[in-house]
């Protein structure tokens, strides 16, 4: 599972530095770096916290792993890539919206 990539994506899409996100999550910047580089696995409670902080479903954090198996037809692979790109764009917009309304911590 490549959760680190998903966490890095939401962090970068939000425009926050590792230190800022680590502070919000109550962990060290070093530990967040280890997670983002897949050298440490976050607990389920930490994944829930990431989900709450960025208002994204936990499933989004592992979306990168949801790719077609090797050897799939180019047409199917392209459709998976298009779906992934659309989801990423929607999440960027959602994260931006949530951060703009920082005072209201309810997820849309």
52 assigned to some structural domain: yes
Coil, helix or strand at residue 21? helix
106 assigned to some structural domain: no
Count of domains forming the chain: 1
108 assigned to some structural domain: no
Q: pTM of this prediction?
A: 0.66
For position 1, what pLDDT does the model report?
56
57 assigned to some structural domain: yes
For position 77, what pLDDT does the model report?
82
Structural domain harbouring 76 = 3-100
* Structural contact between residues 6 and 64, judged by C-beta atoms closer than 8 angstroms: yes
What does the pLDDT look like over 49-93, one tens digit per residue? 999 888 888 887 876 555 666 787 888 888 878 877 777 777 777
Distances (CA, A) of 69 to 4, 30, 64, 65, 74: 21, 33, 13, 10, 11
107 assigned to some structural domain: no
**Among 81, 65, 86, 82, which residue's Cα sits nearest to residue 6?**
65
For position 48, what pLDDT does the model report?
94
Q: Give yes or no for residue 102 having a pLDDT over 90.
A: no
Mean pLDDT of 40-44: 94
Contacts for 58 with CB less than 8 Å, ≥ 6 apart: 47, 48, 50, 51
| Residue 81's CATH number | 1.10.260.40
């Amino acid at each position: 599972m490549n959760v680190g990539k998903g966490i890095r994506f939401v962090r970068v899409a939000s425009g926050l530095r590792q230190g800022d996100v680590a502070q919000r999550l109550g962990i060290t910047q070093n530990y967040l770096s280890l997670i983002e580089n897949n050298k440490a696995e976050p607990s389920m409670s930490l994944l829930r916290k990431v989900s709450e902080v960025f208002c994204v479903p936990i499933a989004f954090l592992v979306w990168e792993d949801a790719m077609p198996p090797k050897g799939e037809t180019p047409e199917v692979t392209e459709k998976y890539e298009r779906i992934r790109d659309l989801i990423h764009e929607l999440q960027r917009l959602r994260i931006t919206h949530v951060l703009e309304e920082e005072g209201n911590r309810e997820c849309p």
